[in-house]
Amino acid sequence: MPLLSTVAVAIAGLYLVYEIFRRLFLDYGDDVPTSIGIPLINDPAITDVPQFHIKMLEKARATGHSVRRSVMPWKPWRSTVYVGHPQVLREIYVGKDWEAFDRPIKSQDPSQLYHAGGLILVPNGKNWRGARELFGKTFANTTIKTYMPIFADKLAVLIDLIGKEAKKNPSGFDIQAFYSRYTFDMITRLSFGEEMDVQHDFDSKYMKAWDDVLSISVIWQLGANVAGNWAFPGFLKAKHQASYKVITKIILDGLANARAAKAAGAKTKNTRFSIVDDMLTHELPEFMEKDENEIVKQLMTLLFAGHDTTAATMSFLTYYLSLNPEWRKLIRDEVNAAVKPSDALTLETVESFKYIGAAIKETLRHHPAAPVGTGRQMNRDLTVTYADKNGASRVANFKKGDIVFTDIYTTQMTQEFWNKPVDVWDPSRWLDDPLGGASSPFAFAPFGNGARKCLGERLALALTRLTLCEILRKYDIQRADDPTGKFKFVQNFTGTIKAENGVGVKLVPV
């Protein structure tokens, strides 16, 4: 009896503690389902980390809620809200209170600031506006067209290398590895004016250093988020800093060359422009003028934002094309009808092609390279309303300090927001409908939307169009022979996504 009553008292005590905790910290007084989330245990479980975005979608499908909230028991004063509903996304992107959804997430400091501390993580306000205005000019359509000679050079190298690889491996090879070196070369040349030529260097120390910066910062971020910066071991920090210096050096060299070229009155040493040259033709915002480190962060952020994302998009598109001969033919026929085999493709021509455009959009719907956006943190309380699938009005209360993720992947893959089956790769949905059959313009946002929309959207789209059209002019892209399943298609998440086992293709000359 005494044992039973002790157990009963313990259970009652625990329930009381939970009830107090629930009322104090889990009751947001709104319609967003709230659960206790322990990173690596259930939110996500350690085995689910690489599939994070897919697990989020599965949860949304299972519960019917595309907005949900999670609270860490030892940081109950701040929740994390995952928003996969177009009406709430609209408020985040372009609502009158969009600036309440701020950057950076404080616990990312400093783990992510080294490589993403440029535009991506600068808080809303004066410095961000200054930098955005500066780079906005550089990423305008007209300026992007002046980069065509750089695109053409790098693309010629890619075509040459994959052609040789196809001869060496007629049963197939991983094209993602080639895209990855190609976009690294492209973005470093475009952004910093430096020729790294990693396309020819399979063991490039620069790519190794870059991969180290990113992978160590993920561990750092995770530790800092769960426990604090003290949880990040010194030896890893030293490795991170050494690799960071390798990349910083490339940027400082580019900056020095651009300054020298400007002083000498030429546009660049080889008369071809880069983003850093363009940047120096404008007045820099005060915070960048005063601190060279801020310039480095801005330029490095372009590499972070542009390299993996664009390579992943090309890889996923190549994967789908390898499965869909009719779309390969549609795209190739459209290119061949417009451009003679002896003529070079131009950005203007590829921009006008509808089939490649539809295939890219559909691929970005299935695989938005940054599936939960960049993360925001509330700088004040805010209430947003939205309608559930039965049309009933729902309320989401955001509190100051809450972390907010734009769950783009969930929105793009939730049937409720689309008129055709969402799980099918069907580019035709985009052919006669700019919304692709979505119920809202905010249901498809692989580049985000509003004032903080991706700066490099035009660049990424132009490069992807140009690259895939050029490959399809020369080759039929078929699935690699894969008897052992080494190219089994798996998409993995580390903030951005990529094909974990690469994309195995056979390139057959046409």
Q: Phi-psi category of 193—alpha, beta or left, where left has phi over 0 and alpha has psi -120 to 50? A: left
CB 498 within 8 A of CB 347: no
Task: Determine the Cα–Cα distance for residues 112 and 294; give it in Å rounded to an integer.
Answer: 14
Nearer to ligand HEM (CB atom), residue 122 or residue 209: 122
CA–CA separation, 407 and 81 (whole Å): 9
- Given candidates 374, 410, 411, 467, which one binds ligand HEM under the rule CB under 6 A? 374
Binding segment (CB under 6 A) for ligand HEM, from list 6-14, 174-182, 364-372, 395-403: 364-372
Considering only residues 388 to 407 of the shown chain, the ones binding ligand HEM according to CB under 6 A are 406
CB of 491 to ligand HEM, least distance (A): 13
Q: Is 378 in the site for ligand HEM (CB under 6 A)?
A: no
**Phi and psi dihedrals of 4, rounded to 5?**
-60, -45
Measured from the CB atom, is 112 or 310 closer to ligand HEM? 310
Per rule CB under 6 A, count of chain residues that contact ligand HEM = 27
Which amino acid, one-letter code, is at 187? I
Interface of this chain with ligand HEM, residues 481 to 510, rule: CB under 6 A: none
Task: Give the interface segment with ligand HEM, choosing from 336-344, 365-373, 378-386, 478-486 (CB under 6 A).
Answer: 365-373
- The residue of the chain with the least Cβ separation from ligand HEM equals 456
Bridge partner residues of 102 (DSSP): 377
CB 465 within 8 A of CB 331: no
- Which range touches ligand HEM (CB under 6 A), out of 210-218, 344-352, 366-374, 426-434? 366-374
Q: Helix 292-323 to helix 126-138 angle, to the nearest 10 degrees?
A: 60
Interface with ligand HEM in residues 127-146 (CB under 6 A): 132
The reply to whether 120 sits near ligand HEM by the rule CB under 6 A is: yes
469 is in an annotated binding site: no
Q: Does 313 bind ligand HEM (CB under 6 A)?
A: yes
Q: Which helix (H) or strand (E) holds 161?
A: helix 148-168
Structure tokens at 462: 């132009």
Number of Cβ within 10 Å of residue 461's Cβ equals 21
Min CB(103)–ligand HEM separation in Å: 7
Largest CA distance in the chain: 93
**Amino acid identity at 399:** K
- Report the chain's C-alpha Rg in angstroms: 24
DSSP structure class, residue 446: T
Q: How near is the Cβ of 26 to ligand HEM at its closest, in Å?
A: 27
- 176 token code pair: 């993602």
**CA 279 to chain CA mean position, Å:** 24
Site membership for ligand HEM, residue 452 (CB under 6 A): yes
Task: Determine which residue in the list 130, 357, 436, 446 makes contact with ligand HEM, applying CB under 6 A.
Answer: 446
- Determine, following the binding rule CB under 6 A, whether residue 81 of this chain makes contact with ligand HEM: no
In the complex, minimum distance from the CB of residue 67 to ligand HEM, in angstroms, rounded to a whole number:
17
Interface with ligand HEM (CB under 6 A), residue from 285, 306, 427, 502: 306
Q: Which stretch binds ligand HEM (CB under 6 A): 75-83, 153-161, 306-314, 481-489?
A: 306-314
Query: Of the candidates 261, 276, 370, 497, which one interacts with ligand HEM according to CB under 6 A?
Result: 370
Neighbours of 416 (CB within 10 A): 16
What type of residue is 34? T
Residue 382: phi and psi, rounded to 5, are: -160, 140
**Closer to ligand HEM at the Cβ: 65 or 103?**
103
What is the C-alpha to C-alpha distance for residues 53 and 371, in angstroms, rounded to an integer? 6
d(CA 369, CA 459): 15
CA 438, CA 444: separation in Å to the nearest integer? 7
**Of 117 and 504, which CB lies nearer to ligand HEM in the complex structure?**
117
Task: Provide, rounded to whole angstroms, the least separation between the CB of residue 152 and ligand HEM.
Answer: 17
Binding site for ligand HEM (CB under 6 A): 119-120, 132, 187, 301-302, 305-306, 309-310, 313, 368-370, 373-374, 406, 446-448, 452-456, 459-460
Binding-site residue positions for heme: 454
